[in-house]
C-alpha cells in the first residue's frame, strides 16, 4: 500500500530564501554553505566590486538552498548558490550579458570523458 509519505519525494525542508535559512534550525550549516559559495566566487574571481554609475540599478541576486543526499536519502551536503535575477535586466543596457555559476571540475571531466568515448570534437 502506498502512503502519502511515500509520495513526498524531494521535500528535504530546504529554505526558500535567505531569511528562512537564517531562522532554520540548521542555520549554522546554511551559513557555512553561503560562506563557502562566497569564498569560491572570490577564489575564482567571478566578480569585482565597482562603484555604480549614477541612475543605474544593479541586477539583483538571490540565494538558492539545496540539500544534497546520498543513495540512501541521507543529507550529506548543504549547498548555497548566489544567482542573478536575470529578469531584472534591461534591454539595450545589460540584456546581452550572461551570468552563470563557475563549472565544477567534475562536470568538465565527465564532459571530456563522454567526448572521448564517442570520439567527439571539443
Alpha helices in 1-122 (DSSP H): 4-7, 18-23, 27-43, 105-117
Residue of 58, 38, 55 whose CA lies nearest to 47: 38
- What's the pLDDT tens digit per position in 37-58? 999 988 888 877 888 888 877 8
What's the half-sphere exposure (Cβ side, CA atoms, 13 Å) at 74?
2
Number of domains in the chain: 1
- What's the pLDDT tens digit per position in 56-79? 778 788 999 999 888 887 888 999
Looking at the domain assignment, is residue 105 inside a domain? yes
Q: What is the pTM of this model?
A: 0.61
Looking at the domain assignment, is residue 11 inside a domain? yes
Looking at the domain assignment, is residue 99 inside a domain? yes
Q: b vs e for 8-47, b when ≥16 Cβ sit within 10 Å of the residue's Cβ?
A: eeeeeebbeeeeebeebeeeebbeebbeebeeeeeeeeee
Q: For residue 90, give every residue at least 6 positions away whose Cβ sits within 8 Å of its Cβ, in sequence order, or none.
A: none
Looking at the domain assignment, is residue 122 inside a domain? no
- What's the pLDDT tens digit per position in 22-31? 999 999 999 9
Which residues span the domain enclosing 27? Answer: 4-117
| pLDDT score for 97 | 57
Amino acid at each position: 500500500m502506498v502512503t502519502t509519505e511515500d509520495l513526498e519525494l524531494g521535500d528535504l525542508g530546504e529554505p526558500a530564501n535567505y531569511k528562512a535559512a537564517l531562522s532554520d534550525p540548521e542555520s549554522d550549516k546554511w551559513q557555512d554553505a553561503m560562506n563557502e559559495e562566497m569564498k569560491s566566487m572570490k577564489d575564482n574571481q567571478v566578480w569585482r566590486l565597482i562603484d555604480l554609475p549614477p541612475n543605474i540599478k544593479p541586477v539583483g541576486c538571490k540565494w538558492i538552498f539545496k540539500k544534497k543526499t546520498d543513495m540512501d536519502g541521507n543529507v550529506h551536503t548543504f549547498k548555497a548558490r548566489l544567482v542573478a535575477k536575470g529578469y531584472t535586466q534591461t534591454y539595450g543596457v545589460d540584456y546581452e550579458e550572461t551570468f552563470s555559476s563557475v563549472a565544477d571540475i567534475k562536470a568538465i571531466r565527465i564532459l571530456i570523458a563522454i567526448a572521448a568515448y564517442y570520439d567527439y570534437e571539443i
